[in-house]
Amino acid sequence: VIGYLSQSGPEYLYNVMALWKLGFIILFLSPRNSNSNLVRLLQEAKSHILIYDPQFLKISKDVQNEINYQYSENSGSTSFPKLVPVSSRYFLIMSSIDKSDDIILSIPPLFHIFGSIIALRTILHPGSVYVFPIVSGPIPLVNEVLNSLNQSKASILYTLPSILEQIHKNYQDEIKTLSNLRSVYYGGAALLPNVGEQLIQFGVKIQNTYGSSEIGTAMNSLKDSSSSNISNIPWNAMRFLIPESDMRLIERNDILDGAKELIIKKGTSTLANINGNTENGDYRVGDLFIETPKGSGYYLLLGRVDDTIVHTTGEKTNPVPIENTILLNQFIKHVVVIGHNRPLNCLLIELDFESIRKTPFFEITKSIFDSIHHANNDCPSHSRIFDEMVYILPFEGKLLSRTLKNNIQ
C-alpha cells in the first residue's frame, strides 16, 4: 500500500494511474487532514511508502517522526477519518451520464471520491473530454472556475455548492455562463434552496447528485419525463440509481414524520469493501430522506442522523472531539460547533458563571482561545475554527438551548 499526498491536478491523476498500472494499492490522503490523522491512516493501511508533493516535505517529516507513538494513541477512534477500501469493480460498474461530445470541467479534488469518480468515469467511458480547472492554489477560486469554463468551452460543470452560492451572490453577471452549459452538477452537500431556485429561473440546468465513499453514487435529480406528476417534484428531489432489491428505507418518525433512513444491503455491487454496521451486515448510511411528493419515488435529503456537520464545500466535520477538547477548559460550561450547510464552522460558548467571577476577563478569553487552538491542532483544516467565528454568550440571560436531559439542542 502506497500513501499518496498531493494537491489535486493533472500530475495527481498521472501518478495515480501509473501506480495502478504497476499494481500498487493506493491510499488517497487528503492534505487537509491533520498530521495525527495522516499518521493513523498510514498505520491502519499498513502503508510503508509515502509519496508526497515537495510542498508537503515538512508534513512528511513530521509524520515520520510521529508514526511510532501516535498509532497506539489514536487507533480505533471513530472521531477521525476512516479507511474505505474500494476495488476496481467499484469504478467499473459506474454508468456514464455524459455524452460522447461533452467537455467536462470538474472542480472537486481528486483525493475526494466525488472528484475521482468523475475523472475515472470519463476515462472508462471514452469520448468525452475531461478538463482540469486553471488554478493558482489548492482551492479553486470562483473567478478561476469561471475563467476555466470560458477557456475550455466546457459543456458540463461538476462543482460544489459553495462555488454556486458564491457565483449567485457575488458574480450575478456570470450566471449566464452557467445557463449556457448543458448541465451543472453539484454534490458533496446540499445547495441552499433559494439559490438553486433562482439559478433555475435564470435558465441554469442544475442537477444534484448523492453518494459517499462507502456506497458510490446512489442518487441524482435527473427527472423521468414520463412521470405523470413531474411538475410537482421539487428541483432538488432525487431518485435512487441502485435497484430497490439492494437497499431499504426504514421509518424514522422519531426524528421527523415521514423521515426515512437509508440502508444499503450487504453484497450490493456499489458498496465498498467494508464491513456492515448492522447485525446482519447491511450498511446504515446515516442520512435521512423524505419522499416528496409521497408516492413519487423522489426524495429530499434532510440531513444526518448523527452529529456530523456537512459543509457546502463538500467536506464534513465531526464536532464531538472538538467540543470535548474545548469543554476541558474550566471557564466553559457548554459549547456547540455549528456549520451545517455553511462553508466554515462557528463556535458558540456558554461560560461557567461560578468559575469566571473572580478571574479577569482578559485571562478568561486567553484561556478559552488557547483551548480552541489546541482543538484545532487535531482537526482537518476545513474543520478548524477561526477566532472570528467564535461567539461567547453574555454572562447573564443567554443560555444555549437544551433538551429535558440537559443536552444541547
The predicted-structure confidence for 355-392, as pLDDT tens digits, reads as follows 888 889 899 999 999 999 999 988 888 999 999 999 99
Does residue 80 carry a pLDDT above 70? no
- Phi, psi (degrees; rounded to nearest 5) at 54: -55, -30
- In the Cβ-directed half-sphere of 236, how many Cα atoms lie within 13 Å? 21
Which grid cell sits at 301? 435529503
Percent of the chain with pLDDT over 90: 53
Does residue 405 carry a pLDDT above 50? no
- Quote the CA–CA distance of 31 and 287 in Å, as a whole number: 26
98 or 211, greater pLDDT? 211
CA 143 to each of CA 13, 207, 210, 259: distance values in angstroms, whole numbers, following the listed order: 24, 22, 26, 39
CB atoms within 10 A of CB 269: 12
Average pLDDT, the chain: 87
As a whole number, mean pLDDT of residues 257-269 equals 92
Q: Residue 48 — pLDDT band, cuts 50, 70, 90?
A: confident
Which amino acid belongs to residue 231? S
- Quote the CA–CA distance of 138 and 189 in Å, as a whole number: 20
Does residue 318 carry a pLDDT above 50? yes
Q: Structure pTM?
A: 0.82
